[in-house]
Amino acid sequence: MSVTVLKIISIKPDFMPTQSVVKQIEVYLNNIFPIEKKVYEFTDDIEFIDPGSNFEKINCNLCGKNIDIDTWQEEMDTAFEKDFSELSFTTSCCQRENNLNDLEYLGPAGFAKFVINIADSKRDISNDELTALEQILGVKVRKIWAHY
Ligand SMILES: [Zn+2]
């Protein structure tokens, strides 16, 4: 059985909301997604939040070139040795300082310690709703549609 999960993460990998902010997020999401099961994940270390089978490829956000998966995996292994606390690296495509979190993941992916999971969402979250979430959280967010 396949599962689709709408995940929302901060664009800042080490972002962690306060308890009162989480309460406000819960109230807001229970209002706009009343039926869906929502799970709030908090981890000690930064984790890579992937889109499951929605993963197609990765492009360099600086030059637009496709990033070879083996090259990316090597950078991921290096970053993982430091529990993803250091995500910067030099691109082999354009020899520039870059960050694993800034790459163009198709479908979207990212790094986070705090993840909002909305399971089997019946609909997409609108840009206005994402903006409202950003206002509550006080940080920009990224939307990830994960399929497993
Ligand atoms: Zn590049």
pLDDT tens for each residue of 126-142: 999 999 999 999 999 99
Tell me the pLDDT of the chain averaged across its residues.
97
Domain boundaries defined on the chain:
1-54+109-148, 57-106
The CATH label, of 3.40.1360, 3.30.70, 3.40.50, 3.90.480, for the domain at 1-54+109-148 is 3.30.70
Q: What is the pTM of this model?
A: 0.95
pLDDT of residue 122: 85
Listed residue (129, 121, 142) closest to 4, CA to CA:
121
Residue that has been written with the tokens 């999401």 in this structure: 29
Q: How far is CA 21 from the centre of its chain?
A: 19
Question: What is d(CA 29, CA 138) in angstroms, rounded to the nearest whole number?
Answer: 16
Question: What is d(CA 111, CA 57) in angstroms, rounded to the nearest whole number?
Answer: 16
Residue 103 CA to ligand 1 centre (angstroms)? 9
Residue 98 CA to ligand 1 centre (angstroms)? 8
CB atoms within 10 A of CB 51: 20
Token pair belonging to 99:
């960050």
Question: What is d(CA 130, CA 146) in angstroms, rounded to the nearest whole number?
Answer: 17
Residue 45 CA to ligand 1 centre (angstroms)? 27
Helix, strand, coil % over all residues of the chain, rounded to 5: 30, 35, 40
DSSP secondary structure letter of residue 120: T
Residue 93 CA to ligand 1 centre (angstroms)? 4
Is 116 in contact with 26 (CB distance < 8 Å)?
Answer: no
pLDDT of residue 101: 98
Residue 129 CA to ligand 1 centre (angstroms)? 32
Residue 60 CA to ligand 1 centre (angstroms)? 5
